[in-house]
Amino acid sequence: MSTNLSTALRWSLFIFLLLCWLFNFPHFQISNFIGERFPFPVDKQLKWSALLLEVSLIEAVVCIPFVFPIVWLCRKYAIQAATLMFLIFTCRVFVTLLFFGTSTYSIVFLIFQTICHLAFVVGGTYLALNYLKKNGNLDLKMAVN
């Protein structure tokens, strides 16, 4: 009974995590918070580098903390779960491109944002799993089946 309850709780938390990701939470709030405080240079040549640095910072702040619940909830399938979260984010970016006419610069910006998202979510999950495997702290018996 305890195992079934634990499995149901883990699945419920994972579905909640996916729904948060689908509805752009907490990405939207963190992005606005960092965007309001990020200093942009006046020089036009440095503006793109500052923008890309800001996107990298936002994706790191949003994605890295989510790696730990993914690994905890889905140990055996953590890479697949992280990939699913990446695909949800990619679909949101694709919808943005479809419904909001964007310039070439916006497309490049969104592609860079998607690549950063992939690196931090899937790459971070892979690194966390490898770290836990090397230290013997990864208990696959407790994973969501």
Q: What is the pLDDT of residue 139?
A: 65
The answer to whether 64 and 118 are in contact (CB under 8 A) is: no
Domain count along the chain = 1
pLDDT tens digits for 52-90?
A: 899 999 999 999 999 999 998 888 899 999 999 999 999
Range of the domain at 63: 2-142
Mean pLDDT of 10-32: 91
pLDDT tens digits for 90-143?
A: 999 888 888 886 788 888 888 999 999 999 999 999 999 999 888 877 665 544
Q: What is the pLDDT of residue 98?
A: 85
Q: What is the pLDDT of residue 141?
A: 52
Instruction: Check pLDDT > 50 for residue 144.
Output: no
Cα distance between residue 82 and residue 4, in whole Å: 23
The 3-state secondary structure of the chain reads CHHHHHHHHHHHHHHHHHHHHHCCCCHHHHHHHHHHHCCCCCCHHHHHHHHHHHHHHHHHHHHHHHHHHHHHHCHHHHHHHHHHHHHHHHHHHHHHHHHCCCCHHHHHHHHHHHHHHHHHHHHHHHHHHHHHHHCCCCCHHHCCC
Angle between helices 124-134 and 44-73 (to 10 degrees): 40
